[in-house]
């Protein structure tokens, strides 16, 4: 029982240090607008993103750019 409490405490303490380091590097996708107005792959490359694709979450066919993982 004591080992379980110690292990859980270790996980909580280590996550306090790890999560802020990882969250700074994560960037959300940037959506430009409808795909009918943009050539998605070309526009995202011009703006410095890694790639672009048409996605449909709430609105159909939105052009969204995928950020580069490393600068």
Domain range list for the chain: 2-66
More confident residue, 2 or 63: 63
Q: Does the structure show a pLDDT above 70 at 1?
A: no
- Please report the pLDDT score of residue 31 as a whole number: 83
CA distance 38 to 29: 16
pLDDT tens figures, 2-49: 667 777 787 777 777 665 555 444 456 788 888 888 888 888 889 888
66 touches 50 (CB < 8 A): yes
Task: Work out the pLDDT band at 64, boundaries 50, 70, 90.
Answer: confident
6 versus 62: the higher-pLDDT residue is 62
């Amino acid at each position: 029982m004591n080992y379980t409490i110690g292990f859980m405490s270790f996980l909580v303490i280590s996550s306090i240090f790890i999560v802020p380091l990882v969250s700074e590097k994560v960037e959300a996708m940037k959506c430009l607008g409808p795909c009918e107005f943009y050539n998605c792959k070309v526009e995202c490359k011009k703006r410095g993103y890694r790639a672009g694709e048409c996605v449909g979450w709430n609105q159909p066919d939105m052009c969204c750019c995928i950020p580069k993982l490393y600068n």
